[in-house]
Amino acid sequence: MKKMFLARWSQSAKAAAIAVVIIAFIAGYLIKGSVPERPAPDKIDPALQGVVAGEKTGRMVYVCPTMCIPPVAKPGTCPICGMQLIAVSGADAGDKNAVPRIQLSEEALKLADIQVAPVERKAVSAEIRAFGEIAYDPAWVSKVTALTSGVISKAYLDRSGVQVNFGAPLFEIYSHEIYFAQQELLDAAKSVPGFFPLPPAPAAPGSAREVPVQERKSAKDSKTAAKSTEAERKKVTALLQKLGRLGATKQDIDLFTQRGQPTGTVTVYARSNGLVIERQATLGSFVNIGTPLCVITDPRYLWVKLFIYESDFPWLRIRQEVEFQTEAYPGERFKGRLEFIEPIFNKESRTFEIGVKCPDTGGKLRAGMAVRAVIRAELTAGMVSGPGAVPEKQAPLVIPDTAPLITGRRAVVYVAVPGEKGTFEGREVVLGPWAKDYYVVREGLKEGEQVVVNGSFKIDSALQILARPSMINSVKTDQVRMQLPAADIATVNATNAGVQEK
């Protein structure tokens, strides 16, 4: 029973496979009949033999925008894609040294919507938009550090955000080095009468009767005593300088000299008025020489840090006005002046930092707030306006930013040929910076020439369809052959002069 079932199942599977093959064959035949075939290479319109062979002719030809078929002599629609054929001139189709040039009929100009604009000299402006954050002006930020190693024995600051005045105590540091230096200073000062307000040593009994004996000392003993006193004075001076290097102030020295015994502590005082924005030291912590204790700044002076891209660098000048906004005050605009441009470019973020100094805003702004900024600059005569700009005699030569076709390695434009309506030729140009709606032109164009500002890509595509030298697709015939359909390959092969690389 099992064998009979397997035999019937295999027969039905074979029949189903045969049926699928037959249906696929019929469907393929029907689809093939419904799609129009491409014209064969030997069916090129006889009226276009001069164009295909590369002969110069002024005859108008009609091409498919997507290159489905070779150029034809009569207008109409493409039998493959159904798009309207575009009329172009067939002149200079095979001239390998010819300037990229094409002539369009009035109908083609309307279909392609070709628009031109003059090359002119005018002052242009640019808006640089940047993002950043608010910080305190580095010129008014002071960092308090430890001048000796020891332990924080007392902290006068409870927290950050406290306003302090000049001379206010911040921390006390106990140090063994300070203790031994103070003890040594007290011992040396005892041999220098009047150097410190120390209590006088008690007089020994019978000293009054010994004065005459002291007066009868030899001159040699007097000179020795004078030298000893001078040496002690120098030692005291050196110890005072040492304590000063360790952070001891006059108040600290007066305190332990009045007590007559070393304390081993020095007080750290504020060196400026301002706001404590950071407090790193804590009570009982050990610090080394140079350890940060706190940071003090003047909150009236704020600094906006902005990050600018490399392409915007030519527009920046010191003391330019900058306008910025914050999320804390929607709709309110703050103004500042550009004061700093970072000398080193950041290769990782591809940006560089600039600093904008803004005046006191009444305590509205806080460090760390995110900002959106706009920097406006004008290019009047080849230089950005602002301090340090050197004016030139003429304004910059500019074209609308829709005119050039930028391929990455170069920029090209199509220029209307004077006196020949509907004729355009390609031109390679050297562009300067982009200025909002314009590009500054360094080389390649003259004032008064008419450049195509709308439809440049269509003109370049029409040149490529005719296998002529174009401005964008500047490659050899072999590379063009790899990209064209079979019927167009035959057309290119029939052309004596292919597209040559510049």
Count CA atoms within 13 Å of residue 355 on its CB side: 14
Which residue spans within 92-168 are E strands per DSSP? 101-103, 115-118, 120-121, 124-136, 141-145, 150-155, 163-164
pLDDT value at position 20? 57
Q: Name the E strands within 327-422.
A: 334-341, 351-358, 370-379, 397-400, 405-406, 411-416
**371: three-class secondary structure by DSSP:** strand
pTM, two decimals, is: 0.55
Which class would CATH give 41-120+402-494?
Answer: mainly beta
* Angle at the Cα of 447 from the Cα atoms of 441 and 451, rounded to 5 degrees: 70
What is the domain partition of the chain in residue ranges?
41-120+402-494, 127-137+301-379, 144-198+220-291
Amino acid at 96: K
The predicted pLDDT at position 324 comes to 93
Q: What is the pLDDT of residue 96?
A: 45
Residue 100 is classified by DSSP as -
User: Which are the contacts of 170, defined by CB distance < 8 A and separation ≥ 6?
Assistant: 144, 155, 156, 157, 164, 267, 268, 269, 270, 293, 294
User: 3-state DSSP: the chain helix, strand, coil percent, rounded to 5?
Assistant: 30, 30, 40
Please answer whether residues 61 and 90 qualify as being in contact, where contact means their C-beta atoms are separated by less than 8 angstroms: yes
Fold of 127-137+301-379: Elongation Factor Tu (Ef-tu); domain 3 (2.40.30)
pLDDT score, position 377: 83
Q: Vertex 431, ends 425 and 435: CA angle to 5°? A: 120
pLDDT at 103: 83
Q: Is the CB of residue 387 less than 8 Å from the CB of residue 339? A: no
The residue ranges of the chain whose pLDDT is under 50 are: 2, 5-6, 9, 32-57, 91-97, 198, 200-201, 203-211, 213-214, 216-217, 219, 385-387, 389, 475-502
Per-residue pLDDT, 480: 34
The residues, ordered by sequence, that sit 6+ positions from 324 with a Cβ below 8 Å of its Cβ are 304, 333, 334, 335, 336, 356, 358, 371, 372, 373, 374
pLDDT in the model for residue 478: 35
Question: Which residue bears the tokens 């314009």?
Answer: 438
pLDDT score of 407: 77
d(C-alpha 385, C-alpha 395), whole Å: 12
Neighbours of 92 (CB within 10 A): 24
Q: Tell me, what's the pLDDT at 485?
A: 39
Residue 356 phi, psi dihedral angles, 5° rounding:
-115, 120
